[in-house]
Amino acid sequence: MPRSASRSRSRTSATPRAARRPRVIWLYGLSGAGKSTLAAGLARRLRAGGVATMLLDGDVVRAGLNRDLGFSAADRAENIRRVAEVSRLFVQAGVSVVAAFITPTRALRELARGIVGAGAFVDVYVEASWATCQRRDPKGLYARAGRGEVRQFTGKDAPFEPPARTARVVNTEACTVTQALDRLQALVGPRRRARTRRAAR
Amino acid sequence: MPRSASRSRSRTSATPRAARRPRVIWLYGLSGAGKSTLAAGLARRLRAGGVATMLLDGDVVRAGLNRDLGFSAADRAENIRRVAEVSRLFVQAGVSVVAAFITPTRALRELARGIVGAGAFVDVYVEASWATCQRRDPKGLYARAGRGEVRQFTGKDAPFEPPARTARVVNTEACTVTQALDRLQALVGPRRRARTRRAAR
């Protein structure tokens, strides 16, 4: 293999410094709060900035890797455990992850942080009130839960624990998607270059 | 975000053509046949050639993502299913995978191929006789199995089904690691550039 010719084109050497320190941006919050929308938008922005990025969305993962899991407390924990382990593998491969999972309890958030490693884990609460999420109801889940067709629905008959006051929060109640994305990017921005941070303000 | 400045440095545009078509090289065979050694060597060579590559080794995965699984037939299938799903995620992220798993039955190999997708899946049988593997016994498993301390040991009290005659095979009985790696690289080489293929012969 002609190593000298191809080595200079390897991913690691061709990407900017920021891309060499992969991390896991973990968005949590109620169904309908805007996690998937923001995660997809953030992943797009990171990629556009030269950061190899994988989007892990709850619904997508539950259709593949975690298709055997339901919504009992034990299955929710296993869901988060596996996604955190997979995120860790991506970080090992040099790829950042944007994850969008309800992650309803503090214990589950700590489980994910412990597996990924605190140094690479950035969790952000995507906040919207129950009333707002119910009004948006992008998947019709609130309507179904209201009719008693969905069991263990987070915030209704399964707990959601808001984070401590010191948590990173993006509130999506009264802003556009672009505004929420700008806020999210500012929150997770410490590893971006100074010029980029100024532009985002 | 200054897109125009950073876009040209994105991973996709900076890597050679071969790296843009990620795939899963899946090595299977008896414990001790040389899967892990060859997988690590192949991953190193692919990375040196500019291909973003993740190594998924059975022992490592069983210490993390699949730590809840044993060696019953059902757990072996779940082990392979999850690794194939994770491999598919890596391919989606533009990262090739080199996987090293016993994958003892044809059904399990087909399970993995079906999840990854035939177009991206390249399976290679790492072949060595039971006697050779027993003599090497890198993890002391054959000795323990001989004393009855390991249950469901592949090739002893759990089945190993050799592949059809048309399968890709690297026999590690009578060659050096480098020779076996060269053979492996020639087998999985169709997507490398012509010049590289000639150099490997």
Chain B residues whose C-beta is within 8 A of a chain A C-beta are: 1-3, 6-7, 9-11, 14-16, 19, 45, 47-50, 52-54, 56, 64-65, 68, 78, 82, 85-86, 88-90, 92-95, 115, 185, 195-196, 199-200
CA-closest candidate to residue B116, choices B145, B140, B143, B80: B80
Residue A11 lies in a domain: no
pLDDT at A8: 37
Q: Which of A9, A11, A80 to mutate to test the interface with B (most CBs of B within 10 A)?
A: A11
Determine the average pLDDT of the residues in A96-111: 97
pLDDT at B74: 95
pLDDT greater than 80 at residue B90 = yes
CB contact under 8 A, B88 and A10: no
Contact residues on chain A for B56, CB-CB shorter than 8 A: 89
With tokens 């060696």, the residue in question is B71
Q: B57-94 burial by CB neighbour count: b if 16+ within 10 A, else e?
A: bbeebbeebbeebebeeeebebbbbbbbbbbbbbbebb
* Tokens coding B162: 């050799």
Domain with B168, as residue range(s), is 25-200
Least CB–CB distance from A65: residue in B3, B49, B82: B82
Contact residues on chain A for B115, CB-CB shorter than 8 A: 64
pLDDT at A166: 86
Contact residues on chain B for A82, CB-CB shorter than 8 A: 65, 82
Residue B189 lies in a domain: yes
CA distances from residue A20 to A49, A53, A95, A120, A191 in whole angstroms, order as listed: 12, 11, 9, 12, 10
The residue type found at B163 is P
CA-closest candidate to residue A77, choices A98, A97, A54, A106: A106
pLDDT at A188: 92
Question: What pLDDT digit, counting tens, does each position of B25-80 carry?
Answer: 999 999 999 999 999 999 999 999 999 999 999 989 999 999 999 999 999 999 99
| Cross-sheet strand order for the sheet of A96-100 | A53-57, A96-100, A24-28, A121-127, A169-171
Q: B146-185 burial by CB neighbour count: b if 16+ within 10 A, else e?
A: eeeebeebbbbebebeebeeeebbbbbeeeeeeebbbbbb
Contact residues on chain A for B88, CB-CB shorter than 8 A: 64
Mean pLDDT of chain A: 86
pLDDT at A123: 97
Residue A4 lies in a domain: no
CA distances from residue B4 to A4, A48, B94, B123, B201 in whole angstroms, order as listed: 30, 9, 22, 41, 43
pLDDT greater than 50 at residue A14 = no
Q: Are B50 and B18 in contact (CB under 8 A)?
A: yes
Distance in Å, alpha carbon of A78 to nearest chain B alpha carbon: 10
Residue B88 lies in a domain: yes
CA distances from residue A178 to A25, A84, A121, A174 in whole angstroms, order as listed: 18, 27, 24, 12
CB neighbours of residue B138 within 10 Å: 12
Question: What pLDDT digit, counting tens, does each position of B4-28 carry?
Answer: 433 333 344 444 444 468 999 999 9
Q: Which residues pair with B98 in a beta bridge?
A: B25, B55
CB contact under 8 A, B50 and A15: no
Contact residues on chain A for B93, CB-CB shorter than 8 A: 52-54, 90, 95
pLDDT at B191: 52
pLDDT at B190: 53
How many Å apart are CA B39 and CA A57, to the nearest integer? 29
Distance in Å, alpha carbon of A24 to nearest chain B alpha carbon: 14
pTM (2 decimals)? 0.84
Percent of chain A at pLDDT above 90?
74
CATH code: domain of residue A178? 3.40.50.300
CB contact under 8 A, A185 and B54: no
How many Å apart are CA A153 and CA A150, to the nearest integer? 6
pLDDT at B42: 97
Question: What pLDDT digit, counting tens, does each position of B127-162 carry?
Answer: 999 999 999 999 999 999 999 998 889 988 888 999
Contact residues on chain A for B14, CB-CB shorter than 8 A: 9, 11, 14-15
Q: State which H helix or E strand residue A194 sits in.
A: helix A194-200
Provide ipTM, 2 decimals. Answer: 0.82
pLDDT at A38: 98
Question: What pLDDT digit, counting tens, does each position of B168-200 carry?
Answer: 999 999 999 999 999 999 999 855 444 444 343
CB contact under 8 A, B68 and A78: yes
Q: Are A40 and A55 in contact (CB under 8 A)?
A: yes
Phi/psi at B195 (5° precision): -65, -40
Residue B9 lies in a domain: no
Domain count along chain B = 1
Residue A32 lies in a domain: yes
Residue A112 lies in a domain: yes
Q: Are A187 and A127 in contact (CB under 8 A)?
A: no
Q: Are A120 and A22 in contact (CB under 8 A)?
A: yes
CB neighbours of residue A191 within 10 Å: 17
The residue type found at A63 is A
Residue A9 lies in a domain: no
CB contact under 8 A, B2 and A89: no
Contact residues on chain B for A50, CB-CB shorter than 8 A: 6-7, 9-11
DSSP 3-state of A149: coil
The residue type found at B85 is E
* Tokens coding B30: 């008896």
